[in-house]
């Protein structure tokens, strides 16, 4: 089949979106390719279609377990065989997956970048018949980007094992500097191609408000705009507060953050996707890999620290190409705090060193050990025991991640594992003595190949369905089997995890690359400056975003708050006189709240009233009290 026939058979579309076909043809020509496609722009089709058009297997490198799982399940539903390897899988499961990649009829293998360098992966790689390397979230390659992940820097080494195989790097948001860095770090060859789709979203209206009450403004937004929505918050506590506020105002809502259990997160996410929950108040842990087209409104209740993340999150509105709104609420003190963030986020060397020392002591990690080991990590307990500052710890852990001492993941999901501790003869004797536990033993042996010899991941929900047994009862039986010494059972972990990437070193030998740290700090300060500029600009917001990402041809959108204000800003002489007379009359008896003025003058457009108010204030014909009320200046 040609690429259009593949698109129609598996996705049901007759034509490609703009640039998709160009990107696919570039890949099929064997060229290294960088594709910059906005959120919801159909990035996955750009590597999935050419991979299906060629013999062999596409290697997809992605940092997000949830995204891997979603895409693999989506491919399987289409009848396309796909595999994935992610953290938490046992050695036996990884080995079996790699054997399937070599000998099975699979078209896609999803892996995290950390997997590429393992001896086991490299042992199987030559037999895989790779036809394309797709690097998703490619901005993670760049130290100067907003989401740098060190393992991405080593992706290029895979090319030594796969000469002649093209790389397709995909991202939704990368500045010109980051785009250049991606091509450099992935060792793109001469003649490589870059494609950048316009950042125009003709159906998405951007707006920014500095309201006296964010809570009231939020309620107003969801009362005025019906349909599904997201509210992004910076703290977990805030997500619940917002959900409760909306519920109190009869707006169906829920909250979501990384501190919830895996089951809670899945349940809340599914309820929102199915429109059973209208509004989800969440941290940025929510949204990756979710394909929900009918989101009408995305509100940022707190100011993000980068246009990259803001654009990706706001872009989850209106993927169905119908009218949608992206709203950012702010107060001036947030902008002031944001400008001070670089000193907090890039702590001095001694502070990072102190956190590392406290961490290895907290985890009781002996010197010279730790590499590859996961630890449950209660950050609150850690801070309390060592009397540390929460910000110092959080950002020092980030530095330790970027310097590849540790991997710290609040959302990691390590499934339950089981391995048998006795031989088969002993197991037969046990089953005769405890027949009530025999079904669980048989269920384990039938459901998980190799579980007798290797520690295997098990999924209690699936196993309980197979055994027609209550999940809680099954877990109880598994614990009994462990108490009898029949199995080693480690229940699922969905608490925050720290994995040590190298052995503990003596504190006097501790060092970090301070030059790179300083450069990352400067890059962060540039991003903050761009974010504040976006909030304060009077220009088209869509054009401001596009220009930031090197889309220099983008035209004013005509539908953002600034474009609308510009359209309606002309005030006729008669309108000016009537508005002025009404303001003078209303303020004659004393100071008046601006909202009362606007309500009284609702026959005029709000923007026109504000323009007259601003003019009268500049001419000292009205004043603003300390409480923000409009009044006549003293002496008039």
Q: Tell me the three-class secondary structure of 174-242, residue by residue.
A: CCHHHHHHHHHHCCCCCCCEEEECCCCCCCEEEEEECCCCHHHHHHHHHHHCCCEEEEECCCHHHHHHH
Measured between alpha carbons, how far is 92 from 79 in angstroms, rounded to an integer? 26
Measured between alpha carbons, how far is 112 from 120 in angstroms, rounded to an integer? 14
Residue 538's pLDDT is what? 93
Residue 87's pLDDT is what? 67
Is the distance from CB of 134 to CB of 67 less than 8 angstroms? no
Residue range 327-337, pLDDT digits in tens: 999 999 999 99
- Specify if 361 maps to a domain: yes
Are residue 127 and residue 167 in the same domain, yes or no?
Answer: yes
Is the distance from CB of 47 to CB of 107 less than 8 angstroms? no
Measured between alpha carbons, how far is 430 from 452 in angstroms, rounded to an integer? 15
Is the distance from CB of 623 to CB of 617 less than 8 angstroms? yes
Residue 194: pLDDT over 90: yes
Are residue 158 and residue 107 in the same domain, yes or no?
Answer: yes
Mean pLDDT of 218-239: 92
- Which of 68-72, 130-134, 414-418 is predicted least confidently? 414-418
Please state, as a whole number, how many other Cβ atoms lie within 10 Å of the Cβ of residue 248.
10
Residue 311: pLDDT over 70: yes
Is the distance from CB of 314 to CB of 172 less than 8 angstroms? no
Last residue of one domain, picked from the residues 149, 173, 196:
196
Residue range 453-499, pLDDT digits in tens: 777 878 888 889 889 999 889 999 999 999 988 998 988 766 678 88
Is the distance from CB of 389 to CB of 263 less than 8 angstroms? no
**Which residue in the block uniquely carries the two structure tokens 């060397």?**
349
- Specify if 335 maps to a domain: no
Measured between alpha carbons, how far is 263 from 271 in angstroms, rounded to an integer? 12
Residue range 104-137, pLDDT digits in tens: 999 999 998 888 878 889 999 999 999 999 999 8
- Specify if 455 maps to a domain: yes
Are residue 184 and residue 95 in the same domain, yes or no?
Answer: yes
Measured between alpha carbons, how far is 416 from 421 in angstroms, rounded to an integer? 16
Last residue of one domain, picked from the residues 147, 168, 196:
196
Going by their DSSP bridges, the two strands 130-135 and 57-61 should be labelled as parallel
- Which of 83-97, 321-335, 388-402, 578-592 is predicted least confidently? 83-97
Residue 356's pLDDT is what? 97
Instruction: CATH number of the domain at 615, please.
Output: 1.10.10
Are residue 216 and residue 248 in the same domain, yes or no?
Answer: yes
Q: Alpha carbon of 318 to those of 229, 321, 404, 498, 560: distances in Å?
A: 10, 5, 38, 37, 14
Domain count, the chain: 5
* DSSP-assigned letters across all residues of 12-44: --SSPPTTHHHHHHHHHTT--EEEE--TTS-HH
**Which residue in the block uniquely carries the two structure tokens 């969801």?**
222
Torsion of CA 116, 119, 122, 124, to 10 degrees: -120
- Specify if 223 maps to a domain: yes
Going by their DSSP bridges, the two strands 82-85 and 108-111 should be labelled as parallel
Mean pLDDT of 183-189: 93
Measured between alpha carbons, how far is 633 from 622 in angstroms, rounded to an integer? 6
Measured between alpha carbons, how far is 485 from 483 in angstroms, rounded to an integer? 5
Measured between alpha carbons, how far is 632 from 303 in angstroms, rounded to an integer? 34
Q: Which 3 state secondary structure label does DSSP give 433?
A: helix
Instruction: Tell me the β-bridge partners of 417.
Output: 457, 490
- Specify if 420 maps to a domain: yes
Environment class of 125 (CB within 10 Å of its CB; exposed 0-12, middle 13-18, buried 19+) = middle
Please state, as a whole number, how many other Cβ atoms lie within 10 Å of the Cβ of residue 552.
9
Residue 131: in which H helix or E strand, if any?
A: strand 130-135
- Mean pLDDT comparison of 250-254, 319-323, 452-456, highest-scoring range: 250-254
- Specify if 403 maps to a domain: yes
Are residue 146 and residue 217 in the same domain, yes or no?
Answer: no
Are residue 144 and residue 41 in the same domain, yes or no?
Answer: yes
- Specify if 562 maps to a domain: no
* Residue closest to 520 by CA, chosen among 401, 380, 353: 401
Are residue 109 and residue 31 in the same domain, yes or no?
Answer: yes
Range of the domain at 351: 341-413+496-523
Chain-centroid distance, C-alpha 316: 11
**Which residue in the block uniquely carries the two structure tokens 């052995």?**
503
Contact residues for 28 (Cβ-Cβ < 8 A; gap 6+): 3, 50, 53, 54
Instruction: CATH number of the domain at 10, please.
Output: 3.40.50.300
Is the distance from CB of 356 to CB of 405 less than 8 angstroms? yes
Instruction: Tell me the β-bridge partners of 34.
Output: 169, 194
Residue 55's pLDDT is what? 94
Residue 22's pLDDT is what? 96
Are residue 434 and residue 451 in the same domain, yes or no?
Answer: yes
- Specify if 529 maps to a domain: no
Residue ranges of alpha helices (H) inside 413-511 are 424-433, 438-447, 460-467, 471-483
Token readout for 9 is 């058979």
| pLDDT confidence band for 635 (50 / 70 / 90) | very low
Residue 627: pLDDT over 60: no
Measured between alpha carbons, how far is 91 from 34 in angstroms, rounded to an integer? 34
Q: Which 3 state secondary structure label does DSSP give 84?
A: strand
Are residue 455 and residue 598 in the same domain, yes or no?
Answer: no
Residue 595's pLDDT is what? 75
Last residue of one domain, picked from the residues 196, 229, 258:
196
Mean pLDDT of 525-534: 95
For the CA atoms of the chain, what is the radius of gyration? 28
Measured between alpha carbons, how far is 360 from 428 in angstroms, rounded to an integer? 44
Mean pLDDT of 188-202: 91
**Which residue in the block uniquely carries the two structure tokens 């309390």?**
384
- Which of 130-139, 493-502, 531-540 is predicted least confidently? 493-502
Residue 276: pLDDT over 60: yes
Residue 144's pLDDT is what? 78
Are residue 227 and residue 273 in the same domain, yes or no?
Answer: yes
Q: Which 3 state secondary structure label does DSSP give 376?
A: strand
Is the distance from CB of 171 to CB of 146 less than 8 angstroms? no
High-pLDDT (> 70) share of the chain, % = 95
Are residue 29 and residue 98 in the same domain, yes or no?
Answer: yes
Interaxial angle between packed helices 307-314 and 541-548, expressed in degrees from 0 to 180 and rounded to the nearest 10? 120
Token readout for 215 is 């809570």
Are residue 280 and residue 362 in the same domain, yes or no?
Answer: no
């Amino acid at each position: 089949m040609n690429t259009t026939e593949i698109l129609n058979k598996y996705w049901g579309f007759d034509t490609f979106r703009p640039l998709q076909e160009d990107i696919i043809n570039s890949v099929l020509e064997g060229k290294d390719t960088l594709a910059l496609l906005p959120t919801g722009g159909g990035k996955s089709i750009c590597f999935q279609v050419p991979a299906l058009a060629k013999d062999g297997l596409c290697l997809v490198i992605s940092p997000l377990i949830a995204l891997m799982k979603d895409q693999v399940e989506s491919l399987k539903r289409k009848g396309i065989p796909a595999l994935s390897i992610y953290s938490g899988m046992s050695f036996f499961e990884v080995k079996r997956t790699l054997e399937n990649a070599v000998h099975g009829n699979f078209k896609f293998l999803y892996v995290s970048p950390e997997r590429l360098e393992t001896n086991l992966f490299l042992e199987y790689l030559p037999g895989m018949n790779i036809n394309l390397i797709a690097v998703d979230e490619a901005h993670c390659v760049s130290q100067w980007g907003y989401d740098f992940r060190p393992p991405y820097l080593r992706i290029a080494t895979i090319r030594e094992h796969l000469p002649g195989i093209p790389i397709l790097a995909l991202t939704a948001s990368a500045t010109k500097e980051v785009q250049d860095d991606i091509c450099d770090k992935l060792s793109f060859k001469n003649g490589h191609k870059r494609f950048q789709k316009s950042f125009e979203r003709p159906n998405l209206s951007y707006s920014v408000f500095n309201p006296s009450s964010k809570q009231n403004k939020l309620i107003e937004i969801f009362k005025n705009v019906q349909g599904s929505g997201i509210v992004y918050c910076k703290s977990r506590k805030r997500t619940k507060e917002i959900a409760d506020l909306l519920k109190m105002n009869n707006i169906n809502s829920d909250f979501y953050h990384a501190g919830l259990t895996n089951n809670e997160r899945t349940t809340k996410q599914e309820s929102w996707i199915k429109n059973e929950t209208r509004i989800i108040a969440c941290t940025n842990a929510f949204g990756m890999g979710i394909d929900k087209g009918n989101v009408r409104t995305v509100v940022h209740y707190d100011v993000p620290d980068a246009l990259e993340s803001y654009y990706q999150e706001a872009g989850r509105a209106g993927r169905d190409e119908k009218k949608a709104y992206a709203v950012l609420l702010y107060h001036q003190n947030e902008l002031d705090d944001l400008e001070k963030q670089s000193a907090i986020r890039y702590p001095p060397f001694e502070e990072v060193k102190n956190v590392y020392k406290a961490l290895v002591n907290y985890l009781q990690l002996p010197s010279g050990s730790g590499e590859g080991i996961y630890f449950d990590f209660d950050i609150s307990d850690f801070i309390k025991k060592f009397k540390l500052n929460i910000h110092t710890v959080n950002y020092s852990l980030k530095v330790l991640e970027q310097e590849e001492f540790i991997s710290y993941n609040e959302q990691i999901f390590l499934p339950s594992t089981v391995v048998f501790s006795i031989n088969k003869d002993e197991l037969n004797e046990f089953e005769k003595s405890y027949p009530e536990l025999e079904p669980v033993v048989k269920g384990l042996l039938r459901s998980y190949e190799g579980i007798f010899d290797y520690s295997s991941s098990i999924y209690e929900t699936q196993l309980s369905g197979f055994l027609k047994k209550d999940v809680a009862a099954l877990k109880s039986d598994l614990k009994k089997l462990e108490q009898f010494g029949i199995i080693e059972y480690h229940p699922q972990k969905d608490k925050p995890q720290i994995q040590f990437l190298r052995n503990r070193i003596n504190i006097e030998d501790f060092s970090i690359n301070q030059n790179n740290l300083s450069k990352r700090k400067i890059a962060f300060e540039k991003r903050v400056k761009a974010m504040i500029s976006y909030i304060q600009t009077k220009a088209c917001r869509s054009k401001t975003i596009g220009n930031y990402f090197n889309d220099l041809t983008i035209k004013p959108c005509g539908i953002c708050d600034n474009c609308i204000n510009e359209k309606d800003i002309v005030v006729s002489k008669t309108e000016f006189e009537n508005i002025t007379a009404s303001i003078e009359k209303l303020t004659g008896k004393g100071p008046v709240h601006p909202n009362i003025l606007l309500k009284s003058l609702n026959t005029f457009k709000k923007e026109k009233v504000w323009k007259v108010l601003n003019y009268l204030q500049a001419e000292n014909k009205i004043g603003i009290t300390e409480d923000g009320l409009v009044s006549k200046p003293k002496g008039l």
